[in-house]
Structure 1
Amino acid sequence: MPQASWAQTVVKGKVTDANTGDPIPFVNIMLRGTGAGATTDFDGNYSVKTSAPADSIIASYIGYKSRTKKLEPNKSQVINFQLEEEITTLQEIVFDAGENPAYAILRNVVRNKDKNDKRKLTAYEYDTYTKVEIDVDNMSDKFRERKVIKKITQVLDSVERIAGEDGKPILPLFISESVSKFYFRDSPQLRYENILKSKINGLGIQDGTLITQFVGTSFQEYNFYQNWLNIVSKDFVSPIADGWRLYYNYDLTDSVYIGDDFCYRLDYSPRSPQDLAFTGTIWITKKEWALKQIDAAVGRQANLNFIEKIRIQQELEPTSEGPWIPVKNRVLVDVSELTKFSAGMLAKFYTSNKNVVVNKPYEPSFYEHQIVMAEDARQFEQEEYWDTLRHEPLTETEKNVYKMIDTLQNIPVVKTYTDIIKIAVNGYYYTGKFHLGPYISLFAFNNVEGFRLQGGAKTSIEFSNKWVFGGSIGYGFDDEKVKYSGFVQRILSRERWTTASLRVRSDLGRVGIDDESLADNYLFLAAQRFGVFRRGYYFDESRFNFQRELFRGFTQRTAVRYTTFKPVFSFGYYENPEEPASSAILNTYETAEVIIESKYARDELFIMNDNERLSLGTTRWPVIILRYTHGFKGVAGSDFDYDKLRMTVTKRIRFGPLGTGYMNLTGEYVFNTLPYPLLSLHLGNQTPIYAMVTYNLMDYGEFISDRFASLQYQHHFEGLLLNRVPLMRKLKWRFVGTANVIYGGMAQENRDLIAATNSNGEETLPVGFLSPGKPYVEMGYGVENIFKFLRVDFIHRLTYLEREPDEPAPRKFGVFLSFQFTL
């Protein structure tokens, strides 16, 4: 018998994406003319052999163009593929007789969720390895002709090597690796990630501590057993959600062994292309009806901005107790180019989980902090050391990424642009031990100060990781007054976040702008320095603040504050309101007060940024803040005794297919008689710009209360309604609804305190009050995502429509614009 009849053709290789260079799992490999075939593993590798004659090999997978390459018969060889994307969607499957056979499989998947969902475990933990890479891609010819890019590509003369011989060139910006220990327990639901080692290489990265906390596995967790998955702040419906039939079409295309598991392969696509739903393939085990593998993609047809594609690939394995846990995850977010002169961006995430232990929960105190980075996490970055930590070795592409980033960091023009971008993002210019800024407060213009210039600085963690010093100085060219602020903060504990700070300042403010309530809204506080100060005032302030996280989610704050009030508008109050005819009229006052505030946010996530602790918000639970304020008369010249009680509840409410709501409930009660600037001034809006924190059809200072309860609510329907209108569908507009309601009032004693004239005999600015039992109500509707940035709101005022004597008629209807950057 001739040797060719028994010699084997053996082919090995790897399949990668031509655009990203990433491996493609689940690709079908066939040797033409034979029955031999294989499927690529999660890392894109395959191996196939045959004794039958074969002259070519084919690689094919849904969403990609098939490719065929020649073989050399009867020998071992390596053949790699790079596949290009093909924009296709599944057509609706029509069955002439009987139901779609995929439906019975999906019913069994839903029926067995309780057995297979990892959330049914009382606890689990595992070792995890995470890799993150960010690149510039889709570099058009016009983009590459720009002077800055030319200077870069002249140095990186082999930029094409990253994506490979058949791929498109990409420019790497950032790559990181981390090794962590991840823990989860249920009842109460708590999680904790201990980042043991981290390696970061990227443009503009000095320290990497903040980024290290973002690249851990905590931000790469996706559970398709949930009905809805939150990705890039949007909620996507899972292809195995309880209501799967409402959202997807399915096609049972194959049955195959994956390892030891016999699986059904189902291809799926959204019933409505613009819904926040996936297109892809799932593999379901026949024995447990569990999710074995999933490939889920969201394309440009979905109602998302700036996103070319999102892709999630996942491989799961059963635990010793039954439920399945992802052992490998790959996530790709492809950000589209905004203009023909710009480029796109790729963000790639990979995680691998090993050594899974289940149903051995620790005490709740063990999960006190959600993300903790070991002190020596960044101390060992040698390549040989990391070879022992990685769950699998770096690819040649990834090794080249490290080399190219090292080269980029040394190009002068790159250093310059990196500094500019960091200033724009952070608001400060970094100089080592100091941060100069913030730039958003550099200048302002208003009717009191005229043109105002301001500069400031604060120390960085390189100066001290326990002490923070900062300050600013400003000058108004019309009022010719110097304004200043200075602070010192002592970080007493990072483990259980504890700080003590002292601040002094002298500045110009507006009645109704509460720095305490708006402390985190830096943009709003900076923007309010512009325009007309209808009720402006100068003030001096000294404040001591102490806060401590007593236990997870609960923070206690105590502050002592002294302030002065010197109005630049016509204002007066009676020193003795019981005898107004003989009473002196006062224009200024001083206060000394103590503030005791409790904040409870059960699942609020924090990360450390140098000497600051940043909140990433809550996932499921509301944020509740209770504040008590007491004023001391006679202390440091203070003029009043008073007590105030304020409560705020904020929550993001997820309604699944109905969109997302944002609720802010606030209530306050002032127990004493005080001049109205010390009461609750409801913030109006007389600009054409919509603002969620204001009442948009209320004039400035129109209503003031000493007791009130308010609701401010926005509901974003995403594409729920307008996606169903044929002409609107392509525009990707989104419907939004709003409601603002205040129940409030003012005691007669506080009304009697207000003088009709100031001490100079000038008529004071009028003040309005809410009637008991009659709320202020404004409701609206609007469209957002016009040209991706513009939002238009139509607001109707439903109450307090009567015109007061000598007062302009209230606005009953208004059209407001706003600009927003949302996905």
Structure 2
Amino acid sequence: MRYLLRLLIISTLFFIGATNAWSQKIALSGKIVDAATFEPVSYATISVKGTTTGTRSDFDGSFHLTFTRTKDSVTITCVGYREKSVYVSDKATQNLTIRLQPSAQTLQEVRVGPKGYINPAWAILREIVKHKATNDPANLQSYQYKSYNRIELDASHLSDKLLRKKFIGQALSLADSLNVTDADHVPVLPLFLSETISNYYYRKSPEAKKEDIIHTRTKGIGFEDGTLLAQLTGSTFQQYNFYKNFVSAAGKDFVSPITDSWKGWYDYELDNRDAMVGDVKCFQISFKPKRPQDLAFTGTIWVVKDTYALYRIKATVQPASNLNFINQIKIEQQMGGNGKGPLLPNKTRILVEVDQLTKNSTGFLAKLYTTNTDITTGKTYGSDFFKKSISVADDAQAVDEHFWDTNRPDSITAAEKSVYHLIDTVKSLPTVKNYLIVADLLINGYYRAGKISYGPFLNTFSVNNVEGPRFRLGFRTNSSFDKKWILGGYVAYGMKDKEIKFGASVDYILSRKHWTEAGISYSHDLNQVALLSDSYLYQRNNLFAALTRFGPVAKRKPFDQDLITAYISRDLFKGFTEKVTLSNWSLDPLFAFRFQDNNPNVSQKMVVSELQLETKWSPGSQPLISETVNRPLSVKSKATAPVFTFRYTLGFKNFLGSDINYQKFSVNVIQTLKTGRFGRGKYSFSAGYIPSTVPFPLLENHLGNETALYNPNAFNLMHFFEFASDKYANLSYTQHFEGLLLNEIPFIAKLKWRLVGTANVLYGDLSSANRYNINQNPSISLSGLGSKPYIETGYGVENIFKFLRVDFIHRITYRDHAPAPDVNPKNFGIKVSAQLRL
């Protein structure tokens, strides 16, 4: 009996102790994250298993839950993720990071039955579109807010070859020790991190934007100018509005899930009629593209029940979309306010996952996070308030770690804080410094060695039928030499003509605030008459200039040139640049040429002095200020705004030995067009007038293309020196159809080929005096255009193996025209080109 009583007392005490343990208060907190990307999972439900006790994570994935421990686990559920149960210990205070595995989100098929069943989500979508004008924040007359932006770029999915590199191993070992890893606990290599606090202002009419950057800090491997980066990483360029029919991201136009034509693009499912986002009652609707290859989103929207305003959205672009190199784009956005009236974004999170370009390269993970607070609407601003679009406070970078810890609107983890230290450490590795030198060479074309940069390397070697093998060595100073003075020069030698060519230049930056610079240069080198065109189709760049040194240069009428140029350029106001250039150059022909002598076999040297005034207006262009970059920089806040350029050229005789008086006028408009489901188009319109009588090299010799490569800056079925004009108008148009039509063909859709269309129309004429001058040169067979225009059109396929493009081009007019008796007209051609487009 004594032993039975003892056993009973012990059992009772154990039961009481166990009851106390299982009924104690537990304070559970933590963060819900995506197991694949480590991005926060917003508004996941956390419930104590077997009870009605629970809570939800906030926009940043954080949660706090206090409960009486009667069960040993909690269950986490969220749309788009697998349900997960997590064990809870008996500790009074616990902090957990819970990783949810994404699930393949599928929407139920909606069938129309005998009774005419209609998807209940459709009625809500119709109301969303109906109420757009009321809810779209773009219709607010003005607004302002304080904005916090954080941007991080990491190298991920490193190849086996890179992992064998000693410096990569050192960096990843350090990342692992600091717990900077991906979802599989594999260390990633942070490359760039920035935080910016700014005040942002907007006015609708007349439209104007302004951002005052108050505080900023940046760390990056290969990035030095914090002031420049602050202007790029602020709130100005992080704007997404899903009320528009198409949302621009990564240079593409993705159809919005609440587009006016929603039924033709998406399938919808009403998940919850009474979903709560904070204190706001919403409809919760899932959506997915009807065609996986379309540039469209998969995700969920939360729509305010009373006003049909978009309150929250999770939108993901999947790898099946017709995109290159991008595994995923994920945009998550929540509006501020109580659901009444136009709502501005309160929090935005963007994730872009870039695939490896090659098996021996690396992938990238870009994370962008924005929080907007102190939102105010309807304020009136003075006339000069928006005069300066972006400003950076003088002491913007003069804050320490304590400031950021106390002023971030949302806390960051210890691992996220350690990224700054990790970037500094990686930058100090000697091998990394060498890789940065190589990267600078590939991007800028120059090899930087201290204060001197050598290059451009594309011009180092070429071969043509006039110079033979040509070798060139050039240099220019960089910002380490001086932040205002830029010195440059080069020397070249041709093995066949045995001629030394050379050049030198001096440039001086007078002001960076309103970019103002002046310079003078001199060169003695070989040039080509075919490249003297004033047409805006021909835009000089390093690659094109290098290619013109190869091949049959003699066909393009080469000449020795001595050129001296002086210029001054200034940004008079935002987007408006004026440039004045004075030049003197000689044309010493390597072909039969005459302009003042009646002897057809005489080759005469011609000297020209000219003054050129150029005005360029780029509305929507945002100039950027940098103390380390020795060239003007700008970013277009309006990607589709046109760019206007006007040039007036005056040639005058008897100045520095010049032989000719003449005038030239020309104008150009270039613009990218968003054309909805038809992709993007781009046109260039040029017109010019030469009222003077001039030798044929000074006419507009329309640029032809006699190579197998497609040249968007030329008439691809026109021979060199086939047509010339002294008055002309030209329209060039290219339409990138993205995946239109080809996405409908199953096999082709998987290849991600895309249609492209082109058209080139030229009107031109020659005065009788200029026709006579041409006829005095038997070495040339130029002719003017008649009453009908020159037209060529084309169609093609791009994105073949992600970088090849093939164009099929037809010559519509002048099909029997030939520039010379022994030359046949080109009425059809197949041109190949290489390009990298997302």
TM range (shorter): over 0.9
For residues 364 and 554 of structure 1, do their structure 2 counterparts lie closer, same or farther at Cα, with a shift above 3 Å needed? farther
Q: Which one of 733, 753, 765 corresponds to residue 745 of structure 1?
A: 765
AA paired with 1:94? Answer: R
Cα separation, 2, equivalents of 1:529 and 1:389? 57
Aligned to 1:78: 95
1:139 maps to 158
2:774 paired with 1:754: yes
Partner of 1:760: none
Q: Name which one, 1 or 2, has greater alpha-carbon Rg.
A: 2
Of residues 513-522 and 725-734 in structure 1, the stretch that sits farther from structure 2 once superposed is 513-522
- CA apart distance, 1:323: 1.8
- Is 1:455 matched up with 2:469? no
1:323-362 equivalent positions in 2, closer than 5 A: 323-362=342-381
Greater mean deviation of Cα atoms: 688-697 or 162-171: 162-171
1:476-555 paired onto structure 2 within 5 Å: 476-514=494-532, 517=536, 521-533=541-553, 534=555, 535-555=557-577
Distance 1:704 1:665 in 2: 17
Partner of 1:408 in structure 2? 426
Cα distance in structure 2, aligned partners of 1:36 and 1:492: 68
| Deviations, residues 339-371 of structure 1 (Å, cap 9, x unaligned) | 333331101111111222222243454333433
Shift of 1:393: 2.7
Q: CA deviation at 1:394?
A: 2.5
d(CA) in 2 for partners of 1:336 and 1:46?
Answer: 32
The Cα shift of 1:622 comes to 1.2
Which residue does the alignment assign to 1:659?
679
Partner of 1:564: 586
Deviation at 1:65, TM superposition (A): 3.4
For structure 1, which runs of at least 5 residues remain unmatched after alignment? 758-762
Q: Percent identity?
A: 39
Match 2:663 to one of 631, 634, 643: 643
Greater displacement, 235-244 / 319-328: 319-328
Distance in 2 separating the partners of 1:363 and 1:526: 50
Cα distance in 1 for partners of 2:112, 2:189 equals: 48
Q: Bigger shift: 786-795 or 7-16?
A: 7-16
2:788 to 774, 792, 795: 774
Write the distance in 2 (CA, Å) between the matches of 1:319 and 1:274: 37
Q: CA deviation at 1:114?
A: 2.1
Task: Quote the residue 2:265 is aligned against.
Answer: 247
Query: CA 1:616 to 1:445, structure 2 compared with 1: closer, same or farther past 3 Å?
Result: farther
Name 2:12's counterpart in structure 1: none
**AA in 2 matched with 1:544:** A
Gaps of 5+ in 2: 1-15
Q: 1:786 aligns with which of 800, 804, 814?
A: 800
Task: Please list, as runs of the form range in 1=range in 2, the aligned pairs for 1:352-391 lying within 5 A after superposition.
Answer: 352-363=371-382, 365-380=384-399, 382-391=400-409
- Which of 174-183 and 788-797 deviates more? 174-183
Instruction: Answer whether contact 1:572 1:754 (CA < 8 A) is retained.
Output: no
CA distance in 2, matches of 1:472, 1:142: 38
Contact 1:595-1:627 at 8 Å conserved across structures: yes
Aligned residue among 182, 201, 205 for 2:219: 201
Compute the TM-score of the two structures, normalised by the length of structure 2. 0.91
The answer on whether the counterparts of 1:65 and 1:83 sit within 8 Å (CA) in structure 2 is yes
Deviates more, 1:291-300 or 1:141-150: 141-150
Amino acid at match of 1:225: Y
1:699 counterpart = 2:713: no
Are the structure 2 counterparts of residues 361 and 568 from structure 1 closer, same or farther at C-alpha, using a change threshold of 3 Å? Answer: farther
Q: Specify the SS of the correspondent of 2:417.
A: helix
1:187 maps to a residue whose letter is: S
The CA distance in 2 between the partners of 1:192 and 1:478, in whole Å, is 58
Higher alpha-carbon deviation: 190-199 or 465-474: 465-474
Residues 739-785 of structure 1: per-residue CA shift (max 9 Å, x gap): 1111112222112113555xxxxx513223322x1211111000000
Partner residue of 1:105? 124
Distance in 1 (alpha carbons) for counterparts of 2:76 and 2:340: 37
Contact preservation (8 Å) 1:18, 1:163: no
Quote the residue 2:79 is aligned against. Answer: 62
Quote how far apart the aligned CAs of 1:702 are.
Answer: 1.4
Residues 428 and 252 (structure 1), Cα distance of their counterparts in 2 relative to 1, 3 Å cut = same
Please tell me the root mean square deviation across aligned C-alpha atoms, in Å.
2.6
Q: Deviations over 1:707-733 (max 9, x none)?
A: 111111100000011001122111110
User: Bigger CA drift: 542-551 or 235-244?
Assistant: 542-551
SS where residue 124 of structure 2 aligns? helix
Distance 2:422 2:217 in 1: 16
Q: What is aligned with 2:814? A: 800
| Segment drifting more, 265-274 vs 54-63 | 54-63
For 2:170 and 2:68, the matched residues in 1 are separated by 53
Distance 1:292 1:122 in 2: 20
2:730 is the counterpart of 1:715: no
Task: After TM superposition, list the pairs within 5 Å mapping 1:230-269 onto structure 2.
Answer: 230-254=248-272, 255-269=274-288
Structure 1 residue matching 2:385: 3-state secondary structure: helix
SS of structure 2 residue aligned to 1:788? coil
Deviation at 1:647, TM superposition (A): 0.9
**Partner secondary structure for residue 564 of structure 2:** strand
Give the partner amino acid of 2:827.
K
Taking a change above 3 Å as real, the CA distance of residues 443 and 74 of structure 1, as seen in their structure-2 partners, is closer
Per-residue deviation at 1:572?
Answer: 2.7
TM-score (norm 1): 0.93
Q: CA deviation at 1:45?
A: 0.6
CA deviation digits over 1:610-641, x for unaligned, max 9?
A: 22112334523211111111111122211111
Q: Which secondary structure does the structure 2 equivalent of 1:673 belong to?
A: coil
In structure 2, what is the Cα distance between the partners aligned to 1:433 and 1:185? 44
Shift of 1:821: 0.6
Letter in 1 for 2:806: V
Query: By how many angstroms is 1:481 displaced?
Result: 2.2
Counterparts in 2 of 1:319 and 1:430: CA distance versus 1, 3 Å: farther
Partner of 1:626: 646
Cα 1:38–1:167 change in 2 (3 A) is: farther
**Counterparts of 1:528 and 1:806 in 2: how far apart (Å)?**
26
